[in-house]
Structure 1
Amino acid sequence: MEPRLDFYKASPDAVKAMLGLQASISKLGLDAGLLELVKLRASQINGCAYCVDMHSLEARKRGETERRLYAVAAWQESPFFTTRERAALAWTESLTRVADTHAPDADYAALCAEFNERERVDLTLAIGAINVWNRLAIGFRSVPAA
């Protein structure tokens, strides 16, 4: 697969704004490891090889185990995730597939049981951001380094 264009060069102001949002999200207080799982799951759903590679590597750097990383794709059947992580992963799936799911009440209830109001908003922003990054990387054919 050949890259279509370098979106960083094509629209530096837009990418700078996205990078600013991403930097802000990382400072909101949500656990960085949890955020990497969320980014990985959204990227898996969207089929973004570039982002799956990036977030798998970043999660490993943060101490995540390979076993849990492999299980993210099947988190619902896996015993390796906490209740809080499960709520975040369910919310990630609901919002990443929002056209099909319409963010079901059951997923929101699970989210409410584990996250306070601010954390719910912060997590939702993080999910939105990774979905934008996925669309940029997929649309412009970003390729993982070999």
Structure 2
Amino acid sequence: MSHVRIAYDTFQKTAPAAQAALLALGKCADESGFDKEIIELVKLRVSQINNCAFCLQIHLNVARKLGMKQEKLDLVATWHEAGIFSDRECAALAWAETLVRLADRSVPDEAFAAVRAHFSQDEVVFLSVAIATINAWNRLGAAFRFAPPVPKRVAAAAS
């Protein structure tokens, strides 16, 4: 069973500038006007790939607050086969998977062309910033095993 190595609040107290920088970087993409549901889908998928329960739970909570369809949240891990994601969502998810899996390879021109077929240059910049930011958070959350936040509806039911 996993155990917390360093608690999130300890990280906040130890490295407030790092936390602030990551939050600011994330806010840059969030405030760009880019589709928030696509950003959340990408953050969910990247967090799944990187095995970060903390970030996965946070972004499930955010996605639910946005009113995202439950079937999309349920099937984002198998988006290739699900048949319920738009072409733009699929392009964003494919780009996210490409940027997450960079070990021993570069980003293929075909992958960039595929994302550009659905997004403007500016949108690709902000989408890539969102992917890079969640990757950074995932590395911290997975390394330190931050405990996933309990969703409010679960906490309320438990009390």
Q: Same fold (TM over 0.5)?
A: yes
Larger Cα-atom Rg = 2
Paired with 2:30 and 2:88, the residues of 1 have a C-alpha distance of 18
Q: Shift in Å at residue 3 of structure 1?
A: 3.5
Letter in 1 for 2:81: E
Deviations 1:104-139 (A, max 9, x none): 233212101001111111111110000001011111
1:15 matches 2:10: no
1:114 is paired with a residue whose SS is coil
Task: Look up the match of 2:110.
Answer: 106
Task: Give unpaired runs (5+ residues) of structure 1.
Answer: none
2:132 to 101, 122, 128: 128
Task: Look up the match of 1:4.
Answer: 6
Paired with 1:124 and 1:18, the residues of 2 have a C-alpha distance of 14
The answer (yes or no) to whether the contact 2:52–2:142 under 8 Å persists in 1 is yes
> Identity rate of aligned residues, in percent?
45
Taking structure 1 as the reference length, what is the TM-score of the superposition? 0.94
Q: Which runs of 4+ in 1 moved over 3 A?
A: none
Paired with 1:100 and 1:68, the residues of 2 have a C-alpha distance of 31
Structural RMSD (CA):
1.3
Count of aligned pairs: 146
Map 1:1-146 onto structure 2 (within 5 A). 1-5=3-7, 6-146=10-150
2:117 is paired with a residue whose SS is helix
Task: Give unpaired runs (5+ residues) of structure 2.
Answer: 151-159
The answer (yes or no) to whether the contact 2:58–2:149 under 8 Å persists in 1 is no
Taking structure 2 as the reference length, what is the TM-score of the superposition? 0.87
Paired with 1:85 and 1:23, the residues of 2 have a C-alpha distance of 20
Between 1:21-30 and 1:127-136, the stretch displaced more is 21-30
